[in-house]
């Protein structure tokens, strides 16, 4: 299914313009389309590999550890059935947005898709989401004798954008960074994260995604109020 060819041109408009255009398009036959880019791979550090990074072979082992982070993230995503956080951001954002402007003619694409050319999009206004950071990483560790006690933090970042497709204009764009060390949360022990079928991992990711969806929607409303 075609989606978002969002190589958006032009400058972002004031929030007032964006909310008005969203509301107007929701009442138009073409409506508004909401979609998301394919999921970002989860990176999850390996405590054993990280212990090696502290010695003189750091530069030789760095690429190996990077590969292991991706492999472990892929494994945990499968075993714990982790949900793509971008879809959770999208849901919270849409819930908040429609509570302000109404649902109208809103189409939410059920699956993530690769970007397409703007001319393939049925709607004249598209809101899309893309996660560009998703990782658990070691934080402030000085020893790795007990891997399960290694402390970790979670970093998540997602951007949202509203694009007027017919004119190739970016109406609005914002980013949410959710880093647990900056928000007074964590750190989390490695063993704690992997226990109970990844219950803690799921909780942390879902909470961050929900907060980012709310924050992005709030930023849009705040831009509207300041315009």
Q: What is the mean pLDDT of residues 200-222?
A: 96
Q: What is the mean pLDDT of residues 20-31?
A: 91
pTM here?
A: 0.86
pLDDT of 95 higher than 80: yes
Please state, in angstroms and as integers, the Cα–Cα distance from residue 19 to each residue in 101, 104, 122, following that order: 8, 13, 20
pLDDT of 224 higher than 70: no
| Least confident range of 21-25, 138-142, 149-153 | 138-142
Query: Could you give the 3-state DSSP secondary structure of residue 169?
Result: strand
Q: Which residue has better confidence, 200 or 68?
A: 200
- Give the pLDDT band (50/70/90) at residue 154: very high
- Structural domains in the chain, CATH included, are 15-226 (3.40.50)
**Residue range 38-55, pLDDT digits in tens:** 999 999 988 777 665 555
Q: Give CA angle at 73 (68, 76), nearest 5°.
A: 125
Q: Which residue has better confidence, 199 or 163?
A: 199
* Percentage above 70 pLDDT, the chain: 78
Do 204 and 154 meet the contact criterion of CB atoms below 8 Å apart?
yes
């Amino acid at each position: 299914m075609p989606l978002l060819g969002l190589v958006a041109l032009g400058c972002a408009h004031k929030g007032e313009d964006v909310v008005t255009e969203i509301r107007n398009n929701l009442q138009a036959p073409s409506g508004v389309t909401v979609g998301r880019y394919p999921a970002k791979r989860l990176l999850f550090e390996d405590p054993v590999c990280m212990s090696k990074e502290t010695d003189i072979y750091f530069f030789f082992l760095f690429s190996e550890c990077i590969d292991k982070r991706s492999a472990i993230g892929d494994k945990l995503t499968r075993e714990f059935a982790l949900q793509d956080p971008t879809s959770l951001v999208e849901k919270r954002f849409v819930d908040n947005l429609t509570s302000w402007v109404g649902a109208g003619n809103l189409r939410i694409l059920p699956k993530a898709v690769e970007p397409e050319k703007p001319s393939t999009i049925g709607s004249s206004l598209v809101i899309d989401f893309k996660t560009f950071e998703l990782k658990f990483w070691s934080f402030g560790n000085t020893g790795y004798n007990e891997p399960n006690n290694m402390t970790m933090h979670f970093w998540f970042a997602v951007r949202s954008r509203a694009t007027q497709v017919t004119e190739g204009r970016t109406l609005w764009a914002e980013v949410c960074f959710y880093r647990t060390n900056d928000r007074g949360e964590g750190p989390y022990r490695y063993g704690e994260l992997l226990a109970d079928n990844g219950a803690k991992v799921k909780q942390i990711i879902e909470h961050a995604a929900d907060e980012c969806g709310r924050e992005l929607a709030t930023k849009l409303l705040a831009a509207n109020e300041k315009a």
